[in-house]
A and B are shown apart, each in its own frame.
Chain A
Amino acid sequence: MNILVCISQVPDTTAKIQVSGDGKSIEKTGIKFILNPYDEFAIEEGLRLRERFGGTVIALTVGSETSKEILRTALAMGVDKAGIVKTDDILDSYNVAENIAGYAKSISPDLVIFGRQSIDFDSSGMAPMVAEMLDLPSISVVSSWNIENNVITAERDIEGGKEVLTCSIPCVISAQKGLNDPRYPKLPDIMKAKSKPIEEIASCHGSALVSLTSMVLPSSKRVGMIVGDSEAEIASVVTALHEQAKVI
Chain B
Amino acid sequence: MKHIIVYIEPKDASSLKRTSYEALTAARSIAGDAQITAFAVHGSEQALATAGNYGVQSVVVAKHDLLSTYSSTATAEALAQYAQSVSADTIILSGNASGKEISPRLSVKLKAGILPDCITLENDGGTVKAIRPVYAGKAHIAVQSISDHSIIALRPNVFTAKQEGSANASISSFTPNLEAKHAGVKVTSLVKNEGRLDVAEADIIVSGGRGMKGPEHFPIIEQLASTLNAAVGASRAVVDAGWRPHGEQVGQTGKTVSPSLYVACGISGAVQHLAGMSSSKFILAINKDKDAPIFKVADYGIVGDVFEVLPVLDAKLKAMLHS
Q: A120 an interface residue at 8 Å Cβ cutoff?
A: yes
The answer, among A124, A209, A245, for a CB contact under 8 Å with B145, is A209
Which of A132, A164, A215: most chain B Cβ within 10 A? A132
A5 to B103, CA, bound (A): 22
The residues in A between 116 and 148 inclusive whose CB is less than 8 angstroms from any CB of B are 119-129, 131-133, 135-141, 143
- Please tell me which stretch of B29-37, B82-90, B296-304 contacts chain A, meaning at least 4 of its Cβ atoms lie within 8 angstroms of it: B296-304
B316, A234: Cβ atoms under 8 Å?
Answer: yes
- Chain A interface bracket (under 10, 10 to 19, 20 to 34, 35 or more): 35 or more
Q: A189 an interface residue at 8 Å Cβ cutoff?
A: no
Which of B72, B103, B104, B303: most chain A Cβ within 10 A? B104
Residues of B within 8 A of A119 (CB): 135-136, 252
A158, B97: Cβ atoms under 8 Å?
Answer: yes
B98 to chain A, nearest CB (A): 7
B136, A122: Cβ atoms under 8 Å?
Answer: yes
The answer, among A94, A124, A140, A157, for a CB contact under 8 Å with B246, is A157
A148 to B255, CA, bound (A): 30
B315 to chain A, nearest CB (A): 9
B143, A210: Cβ atoms under 8 Å?
Answer: yes
A247 to B284, CA, bound (A): 11
B181 to chain A, nearest CB (A): 8
Residues of A within 8 A of B246 (CB): 143, 157, 178
A164, B282: Cβ atoms under 8 Å?
Answer: no
Q: B170 an interface residue at 8 Å Cβ cutoff?
A: no
A234 to chain B, nearest CB (A): 5
Closest A residue to B312 using CB positions: A234
Residues of B within 8 A of A143 (CB): 246
B193, A213: Cβ atoms under 8 Å?
Answer: no
Q: A223 an interface residue at 8 Å Cβ cutoff?
A: yes
Residues of B within 8 A of A177 (CB): 253
B303, A164: Cβ atoms under 8 Å?
Answer: no
Contact A247 to B97, CB < 8 A, known contacts A125-B114, A209-B145: no
Residues of B within 8 A of A106 (CB): none
The answer, among B101, B228, B302, for a CB contact under 8 Å with A140, is B101
Q: B3 an interface residue at 8 Å Cβ cutoff?
A: no
Minimum-distance CB pairs A-B, first 7? A229-B304, A137-B184, A125-B104, A226-B301, A209-B113, A223-B299, A129-B104
Interface residues of B (CB under 8 A from A): 72-73, 76, 96-98, 100-105, 107-109, 111-117, 129, 133-147, 156, 181, 184-193, 198, 200-201, 204, 228, 246-247, 252-253, 255, 260-261, 271-272, 275, 281-284, 290, 295-305, 308-309, 312-313, 316-317, 320-321
Interface residues of A (CB under 8 A from B): 11, 13-17, 19, 24, 26, 38, 92-94, 97, 119-129, 131-133, 135-141, 143, 153, 156-168, 171, 176-178, 208-218, 220, 222-229, 231, 233-235, 237-242, 245, 247-248
